[in-house]
Amino acid sequence: MIQKSYLKTKNTVKVKFSVKPEFASNVAVLGLNGDWDNAIVLTKKKDGSFVGEVSLEKESRHEFKYLIDGELWLNEAEADSEVENAFGGTNSVLIV
pLDDT of residue 84: 97
Under 8 Å CB-to-CB from 42, ≥6 apart: which residues?
17, 19, 26, 27, 28, 29, 50, 51, 52
| Domain boundaries 2-95, CATH class | mainly beta
pLDDT of residue 68: 97
User: Could you report the per-residue pLDDT of 17-68, keeping only the tens digit for each?
Assistant: 999 998 899 999 999 999 999 999 999 999 999 999 999 999 999 999 999 9
Confidence band of 7 (pLDDT split at 50, 70, 90): confident
Confidence band of 9 (pLDDT split at 50, 70, 90): confident
Which sequence spans correspond to the domains of the chain?
2-95
**pLDDT top residue among 52 and 10:** 52
